[in-house]
């Protein structure tokens, strides 16, 4: 069953954000997963969302998403995270094909 990593972020430091983004993308590529959304236009339809940037990554399953998040490859990107951005990050289990 797929899993989705959803990040609602705002950039603090553009240079640090580029380092983080490059490192995160490289680590994601190693895990063979794909971006579904990565900073495109946002239109709030209901509620009080104040999102500036949304990133959604699809993983084949929640275990692989957790493995990526805890990986040494992603740890390199995380070194720039606190300087680069503020974010909310969630991992959501998807729906199986048989549901």
Per-domain residue ranges of the chain: 3-43+51-93
pLDDT at 13: 96
- Token output for 18: 């580029």
Question: Cβ contacts of residue 85 below 8 Å, gap of 6+?
Answer: 9, 10, 11, 12, 16, 17, 20
The rounded Cα 51 to chain-centroid distance in angstroms is: 14
Question: CA-CA distances (angstroms) from residue 37 to 41, 72, 74?
Answer: 10, 24, 19
- pLDDT tens digits, one per residue of 10-43: 999 999 999 999 999 999 999 889 999 998 999 9
Quote the pLDDT of residue 66: 96
How far apart are the C-alpha atoms of 54 and 7, rounded to whole Å? Answer: 6
pLDDT tens digits along 49-97: 888 899 999 999 999 999 999 999 999 999 999 999 999 999 999 998 7
What is the pLDDT at residue 29?
92
Would you state the pLDDT for residue 97?
Answer: 76
In this prediction, residue 99 carries a pLDDT of 57
* CATH entry, 3-43+51-93, from 2.40.160.50, 2.40.128.130, 3.30.70.100, 3.30.9.10: 3.30.70.100
């Amino acid at each position: 069953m797929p899993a989705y990593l959803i990040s609602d972020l705002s950039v603090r430091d553009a240079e640090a954000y580029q380092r983080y983004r490059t490192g995160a993308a490289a680590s994601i590529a190693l895990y063979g997963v794909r971006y579904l959304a990565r900073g495109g236009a946002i239109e709030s339809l209901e509620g009080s969302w104040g999102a500036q940037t949304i990133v959604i990554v699809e993983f084949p399953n929640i275990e692989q998403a957790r493995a990526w998040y805890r990986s040494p490859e992603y740890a390199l990107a995380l070194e720039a995270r606190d300087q680069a951005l503020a974010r909310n990050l969630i991992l959501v289990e998807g729906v199986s094909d048989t549901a």
